[in-house]
Amino acid sequence: MTPNEIKSALDGPDTMPGVSRPFAVLLCLTIFLIGYFFSIWLLEEYTGGDQKFYSDFWYAMMWAHPSQWPRLQLQYLGSAEPLYRTVIGAGTYFGFDRIRYLSFWNGTMLAAIGYILLKYRSSLIFSALILTNYYLIVLLSSAERLKFAYLVLILAFCGGGIKTKSTLSFMSVFFHTQAVVQFISAGLYYIIEIRESIFSSRWKSAAFFILMPVILGIAAYAIINSAGDVISQKAEFYSGESEGLLEIIQWILILLCGAVVFNKRIQFFIGMIPMGILTALYGNRINVATLAFFCALSLSQGKTRHPLVLAIMGYMSFKTIGFILNVISNGDGFLA
């Protein structure tokens, strides 16, 4: 592959043929406003479950010195990711209203998704289904730390060079360590994508096998240094709760669907392996990463009109109905 072909494979389409810039801006602004006001309603209704812990953490942060933020995060949330507490700390430090502050970020994430749907010329049905997707609503409400991790991953998918994408993807792990699953799967996919270029010469092959362990080692050190003990404790807890192979049914269905739909099957299979292993070990909380990977490939390969893709997306939007009804009746989307 030539350098231009590699850039194209990694970056996706650079333009939006037939779409004017003013229209794109207006559409993204409209999605932002709708998402912002929907988020205000949703977060005001969502008073139980994890939101109670996040709310308590916010109000504790309001009276704390920044030096106390790590201790409060561990105490209230049992987590240690530094970028999450920095974003929340900024909101509390400047005295923003919590729900409106979070709704601003929710609206931003939805606007970025709208931009991606436009950029990749998604079908209208797929667009509607992704904006009403169960896991997206969970990110907007109960999964607050994971929301920020996926926000920077979505911004990485919006465009920019390889350095920008890699930096944003790496940052996502310091909002929620679960994002490392997405980082690894996407990395494996793209390594297989550009494998011909990597192994086109001895120098490139040598550079790859020298640099990759160094980069991964630095990344692992940074993650373990910032949240190693917490990660270990949570991994042990989630492993004890997992039902093993029963947890990977959704992963298997998406794997089979992708095998039929996608063009680059080898890349897809290899990218799916880490998520399958971790789902079996730690439960269905990894399913959001699997679906995000599936959606990204559906968009980048122009498969948003395929019946199997729409069937999976339709099922995930159907699950949203029960979640919203639970929020309205119980203040918790997971409490029936």
Q: Which of 137, 157, 135 is nearest to 42 (CA)?
A: 137
Position 336 in a domain: no
Q: For 46, left (φ over 0), alpha (ψ -120 to 50), or beta?
A: beta
* pLDDT above 70 for 63: yes
**The domain containing residue 161 runs over which residues?**
3-10+20-330
Which residue type does 84 have? Y
Report the predicted TM-score, pTM, of the whole model to 2 decimal places. Answer: 0.85
Query: Does residue 94 belong to any structural domain of this protein?
Result: yes
Mapped onto helix, strand or coil, the DSSP state of residue 262 is: coil
- HSE at residue 90, side-chain half, CA atoms within 13 A, is 8
The answer on pLDDT for 225 being more than 80 is: no
d(CA 233, CA 247): 20
Instruction: Check pLDDT > 80 for residue 240.
Output: no
**Which residues lie below 8 Å from residue 256, measured CB to CB, with a gap of 6+?**
none
Question: How large is the average pLDDT for residues 257-267?
Answer: 92
Q: What is the pLDDT of residue 5?
A: 43
Looking at the domain assignment, is residue 173 inside a domain? yes
Structure tokens at 213: 């362990």
Indicate whether 335 belongs to any domain: no
Contact 175, 148 (CB under 8 A): yes
In a domain, 134, yes or no: yes
The whole-number average pLDDT for the span 20-48 is: 94
Instruction: Give the whole-number percent of the chain exceeding pLDDT 90.
Output: 57
The residue ranking higher by pLDDT, 249 or 59, is 59
What per-residue confidence (pLDDT) applies to 198?
66
Per-residue pLDDT of 146-166, as tens digits, reads 999 999 999 999 987 778 888
In a domain, 289, yes or no: yes
Distance CA 162, CA 6 (A): 10
List the Cα angle 202/207/212 in 5-degree steps.
135
Look at the chain and report how many structural domains it folds into.
1
User: Higher pLDDT residue, 177 or 315?
Assistant: 315
| pLDDT for the residue 249 | 85
109 CA to centre of own chain: 10
C-alpha to C-alpha distances, 283 to 64, 313, 318, nearest whole angstrom: 35, 21, 21
Structure tokens at 117: 């749907």
pLDDT of residue 180: 85
**Among 2-11, 40-49, 255-264, which stretch is predicted with the lowest mean pLDDT?**
2-11
Indicate whether 156 belongs to any domain. Answer: yes
Q: Please report whether residue 190 resides in a domain.
A: yes
Mean pLDDT of all residues in 8-23: 60
How does DSSP classify residue 284? G
Measured from the Cβ of residue 18, the count of other Cβ atoms closer than 10 Å reads 7
